Structure 1
Amino acid sequence: MARVTTRPDPFREGHVELTTGPVPLHYQVYRHLRDALAAGRLRPGDRLPGERELCDFYGCSLVTVRRALDELARERRLVRERGRGTFVTEPPLDRNLALLGSFTEEMRARGLDPSTRVLAAAREPAPRAIADALRLDEGADTYLLERLRLVGGNPLLLEEVHLSADRFPGLLDFDLANESLYELLSQRYGVRLEHAQETIEPIALPTREAELLDQRRGRPALLVELVAFDQDDDPVEHCRSVVRGDRARYHVRARGARAELLVLPNAEITTH
C-alpha cells in the first residue's frame, strides 16, 4: 500500500472545536476521525498529522488524542508505525462463514477488483491427511493447486487446494487464474458444493507465506482449513488458506435454541 505524506483533507479546516459535556473528549476525536474514514476523506495510505499537531487541531491533550488513535488502531482502521507515523489501513474484508462460494464472484459482488496468481498446478500422490479428508486411498492421484489471491492488486490470502484427479480429469487444462474453480466444478463436471467444514486458528506467518503476502515474518494471520462437500455429501475439495490478519475478518450467524458458538483453543466451526 502506497504511503501518502500530504496532509489529508479533514485537517485543512484549521481546527475542530470539542465540546464540554456528557460526551468524552477522546470519543469526539475518535468520532471525527471515524466519520472522515467512512466518508472517504481519509483514504488507505494517508498519513495522519503527528500527535502534537493533532492536539493543536482538536485543542485537547496528548492523552485524549492517543486514546482516540488507540481505539481506531484496535478496530484496524489505523496502523501506528514506530518512527514513521500513523496511517490509514485498508478496511478488513468481512467473509461470512455461512456462505460457500467463489472468492472471485464474492469480491466482485462487493465492487472490488480480485485477481489470482497461480503458483503451482500439478498432480501429486495424496498425503495421508489429504487422503483422509477426501476419503481417498493414501497415495491416490490428486491435483495440487496453489494460488495467491489479491484484491486491488494487494495480496489477501494464499491457498492450497487438493482435489481428486480421477474425479476431475483435465481440470488443470483450464485457466485457473481467471476461471472460478467452483463454476468449473459445477458446469464442467456437474458437481455442486452444498456445505463445508472449516477450522480457523491464529498463526504467526512463516517466512515464505510472509513474503508472498507482503508481510513481515511473524505477523499474525489466520489459517483456514476447509473441506467442501457435494450434493451427495461426498468430500470434493480440501483447501488450506493462510489469510492476512490485518485484511480479513470472519463472522457467523447462529440460529435456534441449540445454536452455540464456543471460542476455545482449536475450536472447530462447522458451516452448513
Structure 2
Amino acid sequence: MADAAPTATRIPIYLKVRDHLADDIQSGNLPPHTRLPSERVLAESHDTTRVTARLALSQLEAEGKIYRSNRRGWFVSPARLVYNPTYDYSFTDYVSAQGREPRTETLGVDLTTVSSWLATRTGLAPGQSIVHLRRRRYIDGRPVLVENIYLDPARLPGIERFDFNRSLWKLLRERYGVELTQKQIQMYPTALVDPQAEALCVSAGTAGLYVNRLSRDGNGRFIEFDEEFWLHDTLCITVDVNAS
C-alpha cells in the first residue's frame, strides 16, 4: 500500500497578513514612520476579522518592525540605532553620527536621599544626599528612552543647577575633571510600566529594554548610577571585545 501524501501545512491567516505587511516594509513601500491602516481597514482588505489583524500587528510589533503610539495608531519602525553602552560619548553625538535627529528633555532634577535599594547599587550610605535626574530622549521626534540618573553631589558639588539638556559626559569631564574609568553594566528585556511607559507614550506592558550602568572614577569612587528604559525596537546593542 502506497504511503499517503503528506498533508500541506496550513499557514494561519494572521501570519499571511503579517507577511504581506513585512514584505511592504522590507521593499520600502512602507517607509519608516508610515502610519499603518487601522485594524478595521486591515481586516477588510484581507477579508478577515479585526482579531486576526490585531494578531498580525502584534507579531510585527514583537519583531520590532512596527510600533504603536497611544491614541495615534501603528507606525513602521525606523532602522535600529547602533548603541555601545560601554562608550563615554553623548547621546547627541552618536545619534547625529548615524544621520538621525536627537533631542533631550529634562523631566526633573531633585536633591533626595539614598534609599536602601540605591545604597546596594552605589555603595553610598542610606540617607546620604544624592541628585536624581530624570530625562527623556528623542530620535527623529519620537520619544525612545527615559533615564533615571543618580549623581553624587559630594563629588560633584552644585551639579543639580546645570543644564541637563546637554551632554552629561561632557559636563563631568569639562566642569569636574571626571573620567568614568570603571563601569558595571546590566541589560535585560523588560515590560515598560508607568511612569516610563506614560513618558514614552506607550501602553503599560509594552516591550522594552532595561540598561543600568554603575560608573566610578579612577580611584573607585562612585560617580553615577544610570537606569535606561528603551523601547525595544529602537536599538542594536554592540560591544567591542579585544581578545587577549
Please indicate, yes or no, whether the TM-score normalized by the shorter chain is above 0.5.
Answer: yes
Name the structure 1 match of 2:207.
220
Distance in 2 separating the partners of 1:126 and 1:192:
23
Distance in 2 separating the partners of 1:70 and 1:117:
30
Distance in 1 separating the partners of 2:32 and 2:177:
44
Name the SS for the 2:195 alignment partner: helix
CA shift, 1:238, in A, is: 0.4
Alignment of 1:78-157 (within 5 A): 78=66, 87-157=75-145
CA shift, 1:87, in A, is: 4.6
Higher relative contact order (CA 8 A, sep 6+): 2
Distance in 2 separating the partners of 1:223 and 1:151:
18
Amino acid at match of 1:36: G
Distance verdict in 2 for CA 1:238–1:33, change over 3 Å: closer
Distance in 2 separating the partners of 1:192 and 1:244:
29
Distance in 1 separating the partners of 2:68 and 2:159:
45
> Can you list the C-alpha shifts for 1:198-256, whole angstroms capped at 9, x where unaligned?
11122212132211111111111112111012233332100111111122232334443
Amino acid at match of 1:43: P
Distance in 2 separating the partners of 1:180 and 1:245:
23
Distance in 2 separating the partners of 1:128 and 1:210:
25
Amino acid at match of 1:34: Q
Amino acid at match of 1:95: Y
Name the structure 2 match of 1:42.
31
> Can you list the C-alpha shifts for 1:133-186, whole angstroms capped at 9, x where unaligned?
333222111111111111222111111111111111111221112x21111110
Given that 1:202 and 1:223 are in contact with CA atoms closer than 8 Å, whether structure 2 keeps it comes out as yes
1:246 aligned onto 2:243: no
RMSD: 3.5
Name the structure 2 match of 1:163.
151
1:207 aligned onto 2:194: yes
Distance in 2 separating the partners of 1:73 and 1:136:
40
1:229 aligned onto 2:221: no
Given that 2:106 and 2:136 are in contact with CA atoms closer than 8 Å, whether structure 1 keeps it comes out as yes
1:77 aligned onto 2:73: no
Unaligned runs of at least 5 residues, structure 1: 1-26, 55-68, 258-272
Given that 2:144 and 2:231 are in contact with CA atoms closer than 8 Å, whether structure 1 keeps it comes out as yes
Given that 2:119 and 2:126 are in contact with CA atoms closer than 8 Å, whether structure 1 keeps it comes out as yes
Name the SS for the 1:167 alignment partner: coil
Distance verdict in 2 for CA 1:116–1:73, change over 3 Å: closer
Name the SS for the 2:205 alignment partner: coil
Structure 1 segments, 4+ long, off by >6 Å, are: 29-32, 51-54, 69-74
Give the TM-score normalised by structure 2: 0.72
> Can you list the C-alpha shifts for 1:115-150, whole angstroms capped at 9, x where unaligned?
222122111111123234333222111111111111
Distance in 1 separating the partners of 2:129 and 2:231:
31
Amino acid at match of 1:202: P
Name the structure 1 match of 2:164.
176
Distance verdict in 2 for CA 1:176–1:250, change over 3 Å: same
Identity, in percent, stands at: 27
1:186 aligned onto 2:173: yes
Given that 1:50 and 1:85 are in contact with CA atoms closer than 8 Å, whether structure 2 keeps it comes out as no
Distance verdict in 2 for CA 1:98–1:226, change over 3 Å: closer
Name the SS for the 1:193 alignment partner: coil
Distance verdict in 2 for CA 1:79–1:120, change over 3 Å: closer
Give the TM-score normalised by structure 1: 0.65
